[in-house]
Chain A
Amino acid sequence: MPIKSYLVHPHDGKKEVLAHALAAITECEVLPAENKDVIVLVTETDTKIEEEILKEKLEAIPSIKLLAMVSGFDAPKN
């Protein structure tokens, strides 16, 4: 099932808040840059429904300015 990675751009001054909000979501792994306003996000879901729910969750986070997908992998179940 899909594993995707993104660059997430926070609204001004909201990097910390955003990193916390993302880290609180089980399917998200977060890596904020030390010195720039950008966060690397890797998501992993098991089903399409989970994927959709996650997308909605991400879209609802107010501190996100822009979500840019970088890569994706189709990790087969078998």
Chain B
Amino acid sequence: MYQSVQTNRRSFIKKMAMLSAMTAAASMFPGILFAEEQERGIPEGANLDWKKTPCRFCGVGCGVLVGTENGKAIAVKGDPKSPVNKGLCCVKGYHSILALYGKDRLTKPLVKKNGTYVETSMKEALDLVASKMQETIKDHGKDAVSIYGSGQWTIPDGYAASKLFKGCIGTNNVEANARLCMATAVTGFLTSFGIDEPMGCYEDIDHADTFVLWGNNMAEMHPVLFSRLLDQRLKRGVKIIDFATRTTRTSMAADKSILFNPQSDLAVGNAICYEIIKNGWTNDQFIEAHCNFNKGLTNMGYGLEDNYKFTDKPEKISFEDYKNFLEDYTPEKASKISGVSVKDIKYLATHFGDPNKKVMSFWCMGPNQHSRGTWMNNIIYNIHLLTGKISEPGNSPFSLTGQPSACGTVREVGTLTHKLPHGVVMNKEHREFAAKIWDVPVENISPKPTYHTVEMFRALDRGDIRFMWIQVTNPMVTMPKLKRYRDGAKKEGRFIVVSDIYPTPTTDIADVILPSAMWIEREGMYGNSERRTQYFEQMIDPPGEAMSDTWQLIEVAKRMGFEKQFHYKEETHISEIYNEYRRHHEGKKHNMAPLEVLKSQPGAMWPYVDGKSTQWRFNAKYDPACSNGKDFHFYGKKDGKAVIWQRPYEPAAEEPDAEYPYWLCTGRVVEHWHTGSMTRRIPVLHQAMPHAYVELNPGDAKRMQIRTGDMVKLTTRRGSITMPASVNERGVPAPMQVFVPFFDENMLINDITLDSFCPISKEPDYKKCAVKVEKA
């Protein structure tokens, strides 16, 4: 009997799996037919209750359907109705629900007493958090308390945090881990266009003829979007060009792989612009009508010193000045810096230059985690602006996001020290606008930004910050030059609160650990890379006393005396917060879709105007916010024009030398979500990728007699680490370079990385420092 129930159930699930794949195929191949008898017999309805949600993991933001039964999530499939993934799902998405059920889920609050953690009630833990924060403010001032959140915060989490800290407490000590991955994308957009986030959308993939991937291992990091590229190649023969420092799965699947020396993408990008101009491939009409030329300061430094400050000074230049500047970047000169052949530089330029080809650029951490990252983002935009290949279907410079709501929460809600949901703290009108909606005196909002992430942890080390609340992120794995910040956080007189779902190296430094509700255990919204806001309802109960990060913040706010501002009811607080948040973005440039719309469909793209998502911003055909009477309107800038920036090549903060002769690059793997705190608890994924490793170039490995599995010692000026070698496996670094993934808390590569950052965005460069490599 038992056996037969099980067999029936398995065969039913197999049929469901088959049906999902057939549905996905139907959306990818309209008119597709399968033999009829195969479709028969798939049972209709079952006990499974399927509900839509965005995937918990990456910034692609796939729509998934989660099947629950008896209060437990037991199945996931790609949502065929989602225009993002059209029914597809990657290995992480498919296994995502298993992350809810790791054996060591945090279910009770823990408070450190005499060096050991003691279980307590949520009420007592929240009382303690509120009173500690009040005490710290009394003794050390309001800028001694801080919150460090995440691009995995839901929109209401980030909104509640910003309102509490900036609006009520009155400190701009609000940062999020997106500073470590997307801050450069933001400054890139702001400097070039005056307004954040991509102008295009994923549908560009269906129109482009060439895809240039700038230091972007899409096959592993954005697998479902990469499947869409491959699908277009099958259907339309599009070209995929991988431009990277390391050979990856993406390079292997691409039509052409071009390797460049670390940091030299700046030179190659400029050489492409040089070629475009030299060959007369510029779109002069577009440039004349829609572009200005600027230059900024150079030799900015790398932010290695405490309290480092930098503000760029933009200066207008002429097209002629810009052309003269590019004389330093002929393909021949750029080839010497980059190691890329003149032929390949010209090859890249021809794709952008061909007026009959639509080109989409994709990038993510390569140009962002870059000590001249804002410049590199500007240079990619320069190429698209010079050729007018922007803001129309298929012509699209597209900055990808890593986290599910780095855009939705950090960039749109504005959980960075200088930001407000609408505008920046430095602007009086923006402060007044926020204060009115938040129902706080405008004087509460400080006009001065305080610390960006690296500086915030430096301030904690110095003692300028005494209290830090960390939610949904694991900085004790991800901070560069980690040892300094770990030691700093453990110093006497620091009080750390960590809200998370599992124990991590960050909960190890906590004084209070609050168990959080995860993803579909609560209600919320995420915003993905293409400006798409997606809603999910609570589908299952959180375990034990676990509570959503939003409600934790509300409870603490009330205890601190801000009941008036945090008047939300428990049953309706998410919709109340979302409706309040929408008021910050009212207007044609950023209107967010009403909640009922988000509930009824797989997300909507802002600006959501007259009941419609805007797919291509700045293009009068598609974007109702364009008002200059021309074909394009870059309305983020006062004069309605985008900026082509003169940005030179400058070396990295630390380059290989005689003592540390290799480049060290760090990054991710497809199986694990960032620091692995969730995916390492999913047996299939953990088994597929159980620990970190160091990838070596086969020639270097042979010379040092290192084989896969041999232990290798890596030493930088920050310290040493030993880990197993990987030679000719998944990725192959160029000679004299090594690559290490950062997901493994037992092999903390960030103990030896460098905390240099882009002076404009303050985002660290995790891709470049000098390292010595020895067989251990």
Contact = CB atoms under 8 A, between A and B. Distances in A.
B14 interface: yes
Given A34-B35, A69-B88, A40 B6 contact: no
Contacts of B24: 7, 70-71
B17 A72 contact: yes
A48 to B, nearest CB: 6
A36 B16 CA distance: 21
Nearest to A38: B25
Contact of A48 (B14, B35, B98, B687): B687
Given A72-B89, A74-B74, A7 B28 contact: yes
Interface string A1-17: 01111110100000000
A51 B94 CA distance: 15
A61 interface: no
B32 interface: yes
B547 interface: no
A24 interface: no
Contacts of A72: 17, 75-77, 89, 94-95
B90 interface: yes
Contacts of A75: 9-10, 13
B29 interface: yes
Given A37-B234, A42-B14, A42-B17, A31 B28 contact: no
A66 B230 contact: yes
Given A35-B33, A44-B14, A48-B687, A69 B28 contact: no
Interface residues on chain B, size class: 35 or more
A4 B89 CA distance: 11
B602 to A, nearest CB: 16
B213 interface: no
B35 A31 contact: yes
B317 interface: no
A7 B35 contact: no
Contacts of B75: 72-74
Interface residues of A, number: 35
B342 interface: no
Contacts of A35: 31-33
A7 B95 CA distance: 18
A36 B6 CA distance: 35
A77 B3 CA distance: 10
B91 interface: yes
Interface in A52-78: 52, 65-66, 68-78
B91 A69 contact: yes
Contacts of A2: 684
Nearest to A35: B33
A71 B78 contact: yes
Interface in B71-90: 74-78, 87-90
A41 interface: yes
B18 A42 contact: yes
B38 A31 contact: yes
Contacts of A66: 227, 230, 234
B683 interface: yes
A36 B22 contact: no
B33 A40 contact: no
A7 B25 contact: yes
Nearest to B234: A9
Nearest to A1: B10
A48 B683 contact: yes
B20 A70 contact: yes
A36 B35 contact: no
Contacts of A65: 234
A3 B91 CA distance: 12
Contacts of B687: 48, 52
B21 interface: yes
A68 B38 CA distance: 21
A31 B684 contact: no
Contact of A33 (B10, B13, B32, B89): B32
A36 to B, nearest CB: 4
B684 A51 contact: yes
B97 interface: yes
Highest count of chain B CB atoms <10 Å: which of A33, A44, A66, A68: A68
B308 interface: no
Interface in B1-56: 6, 9-10, 13-14, 16-18, 20-22, 24-25, 28-29, 31-35, 38
A19 B74 CA distance: 30
Given A69-B94, A75-B13, A48 B684 contact: yes
A71 B97 CA distance: 12
A15 to B, nearest CB: 12
Contact of B89 (A52, A70, A78): A70
B89 A40 contact: no
A55 B75 CA distance: 21
A58 B409 CA distance: 40
29 contacts: A3-B10, A4-B17, A6-B21, A7-B24, A7-B28, A9-B230, A9-B234, A31-B18, A31-B22, A31-B35, A31-B38, A33-B32, A33-B33, A35-B32, A36-B29, A42-B14, A48-B687, A51-B684, A65-B234, A66-B230, A68-B227, A70-B88, A71-B77, A71-B94, A72-B76, A72-B77, A72-B95, A74-B74, A76-B74
Interface of B: 6, 9-10, 13-14, 16-18, 20-22, 24-25, 28-29, 31-35, 38, 74-78, 87-91, 94-95, 97-98, 227, 230-231, 234, 683-684, 687
Given A5-B18, A71-B89, 7 more contacts: A31-B18, A36-B25, A40-B21, A65-B234, A66-B234, A68-B231, A70-B78
Ordered nearest first, which 6 A-B pairs have the shortest CB separation?
A71-B77, A72-B94, A71-B20, A5-B17, A5-B21, A34-B33
